[in-house]
Amino acid sequence: MKHVLSALVMNQPGVLAHISGMLASRAFNIDSLAVGATETPELSRMTFVINGDEKTLDQVRKQLEKIVTVVRVIDFSKQNFVERDLMLLKVSTEGGKRSEVHELVDIFRARIVDVGNTHVMIEISGQERKIDAFIDVMRPFGIIELVRAGRIALLRSANASHEAEDDRLTPEPPPEATV
């Protein structure tokens, strides 16, 4: 089972190497890792996706909490949270397929960020299943290059509604149809 962990860490040189080295030395495999600044300049947030059972997850969390530069570890696995992946991909548009690709980009709420003579570059963000589904529908056109960023996640507020999700695979109705 995949688990999402977040570690709030001191923003210091070597923290990423220290933490990833510790996990590797204990044979924990990281499926995804994203690190970025937070609202506090002294802190960074590391988001990990770890594949394993509850025992593995507990061991990873305990090892992270022992590291001096780790301020706090959050296990999102049993909580209500929002997660996002980001991907850029180049897709062939040879053979007059550009309009078909553009239509699928709109349906998946992605966007074309670069246009070449024989391809387009697409940016898409969302939950892992949305990104995977988009890759599947783009394969027949010919994926030239693809890069994915690590997953990021934050806990939802206690009164948050799931209706705010933007991971639907169908477009919203036009504004005049909204009540």
Instruction: Please give the backbone phi and psi of residue 75, each rounded to the nearest 5 degrees, phi first.
Output: -100, 110
Instruction: Please give the backbone phi and psi of residue 12, each rounded to the nearest 5 degrees, phi first.
Output: -135, 150
Closest CA relative to residue 34, chosen from 133, 144, 154: 154
Average pLDDT over residues 124-145: 96
- The helix (run of H) or strand (run of E) holding residue 25 is helix 15-25
Lowest mean pLDDT segment, chosen from 11-20, 140-149, 150-159: 150-159
% of the chain surpassing 90 pLDDT = 59
Confidence label for 171 from pLDDT (cuts 50, 70 and 90): very low
% of the chain surpassing 70 pLDDT = 88
Q: Tell me the pLDDT tens digit for each residue of 68-94.
A: 999 999 988 788 999 999 999 999 999
Closest CA relative to residue 26, chosen from 54, 64, 53: 64
25: left (phi over 0), alpha (psi -120 to 50) or beta: alpha
Q: Is the pLDDT of residue 164 over 70?
A: no
Q: Is the pLDDT of residue 163 over 80?
A: no
